[in-house]
């Protein structure tokens, strides 16, 4: 991820940690001072543009609140998994390895699972170029058990 320069960003944006909203401090382009910043990307995250550089809003919010950049091996996670909820109480730093949206018992994401549009979890594995799927489950840990059963060495 691109580093965020606190001094540069803080010249243009203001962050309200209670609402999670970023607003313009001064007029730039089509945006006036006081306008809310950000638009929704195709992946659901809010993004904004400053000086022809694009940034994810939750990362900018974290930097503005803490006054420093995000360490190289870390990322900002939405605790409640709502990509539009950028309140500081919903943002936390996590190692990139552990950031997954759902955590297993030991704090790591159970391997080999994916969340479906129905909000349920299922196992997914690719073997020799072909995808195999488990049954949709309410619990991600049960879906992970399905994943383990799909692994050829465990059959």
Secondary structure letter of residue 31 according to DSSP = B
Q: Rg (Cα) of the chain, in Å, rounded? A: 19
pLDDT of residue 68: 92
Task: Read off the pLDDT of residues 43-93 as tens digits, 9 standing for 90 and up.
Answer: 889 999 888 889 999 999 999 999 999 988 888 988 777 889 999 998 988
What fold is seen in the domain 6-95?
A: Homing Intron 3 (I-Ppo) Encoded Endonuclease; Chain A (3.90.75)
Percent of the chain topping pLDDT 90: 28
Task: Read off the pLDDT of residues 124-139 as tens digits, 9 standing for 90 and up.
Answer: 888 888 888 888 988 8
pTM of the model: 0.64
Residues 57-82, buried b or exposed e (16+ Cβ, 10 A)?
Answer: bbbbbbbbbeeebbeeebbbbbeeee
Task: Specify whether the CB–CB gap between 148 and 137 falls below 8 A.
Answer: no
Lowest-pLDDT choice from 10-14, 36-40, 143-147: 143-147
User: How far apart are the C-alpha atoms of 95 and 139, rounded to whole Å?
Assistant: 23
Task: Specify whether the CB–CB gap between 37 and 45 falls below 8 A.
Answer: no
User: How far apart are the C-alpha atoms of 74 and 118, rounded to whole Å?
Assistant: 30
Start-end ranges of CATH 3.90.75.20 in the chain? 6-95
């Amino acid at each position: 991820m691109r580093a965020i320069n606190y001094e540069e960003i803080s010249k243009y944006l203001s962050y309200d940690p209670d609402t999670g909203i970023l607003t313009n401090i001064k007029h730039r382009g089509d945006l006036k001072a006081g306008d809310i910043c950000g638009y929704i990307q195709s992946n659901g995250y809010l993004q904004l543009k400053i000086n022809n550089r694009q940034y994810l809003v939750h990362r900018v919010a974290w930097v503005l609140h803490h006054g420093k950049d995000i360490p190289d091996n870390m990322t900002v996670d939405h605790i409640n998994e709502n990509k539009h909820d950028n309140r500081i109480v919903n943002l936390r730093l996590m190692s990139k390895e552990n950031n997954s949206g759902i955590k297993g018992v030991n704090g790591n994401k159970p391997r080999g699972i994916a969340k479906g549009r129905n909000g349920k979890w299922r196992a997914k594995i690719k073997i020799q170029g072909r995808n195999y799927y488990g049954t949709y489950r309410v619990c991600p840990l049960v879906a992970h058990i399905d994943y383990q059963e799909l692994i050829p060495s465990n059959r």
